[in-house]
Amino acid sequence: MIRIHALLLLVVSPFSLHAFDPEDDTFDPEVKTVIADGSTRLGDPSPFFREGYDERGFTHVQASKPEGSDPMVQVSFLKMPDADDPAKALGGAMFLPIENAKAFATELAKGAALEKPVEVWDTEWAGKWTVSYQKDKGVVLEQAMNGQVARYFLSANAAKKLAGAVEYFAGEAGKE
């Protein structure tokens, strides 16, 4: 029985076991899943906190080609639902054209060197997104839409990792 378990561990581990380090600042496109906060996360995510919530959320980035549209980079902010209030699963998403994604990655990578808020994306259906740095909050992504504002806070390392993911997928989207 021990041999079977050892064999399974050798066969499964190279494909599924990836250590998650919230302070990691490099994106690895070879990572398909990680275990963080007791759940499987897709890709090599960056951790964030959403204003008003204590639970940590995680990003997911991918290239997409919506039908009838140019290639885009989708950046999602996913927060697991609160056990007491499932409506608190709110997240956010940006669908950025390649050039906007590259510009966004450049700004994110600046981290603490961001001198003033920079507009990332502004559409009627997704709102106005800006990125800035606040000494007490870190890198702040703000989504203003329909009179409401959502703020997502990332450490400088998490922002740098997210920048790497966005840059990578902007390159992948451009190949399509």
User: What's the pLDDT score for residue 140?
Assistant: 96
Tell me what the pLDDT averaged over the chain comes to: 84
Mean pLDDT of 126-131: 90
**What does the pLDDT look like over 4-55, one tens digit per residue?**
433 333 344 444 556 788 888 999 999 999 988 888 888 999 999 999 888 8
**pLDDT tens digits for range 138-166:** 999 999 989 999 999 999 999 999 999 99
| Residues 164, 170, 174: CA angle, nearest 5 degrees | 150
DSSP-assigned letters across all residues of 8-63: HHHHHHHHH-----TT-----TT--EEEETTEEEESS--EEEETT--SEEEEEEEE
Q: Which residues pair with 153 in a beta bridge?
A: 49, 140
Cβ 46 vs Cβ 28: under 8 Å: no
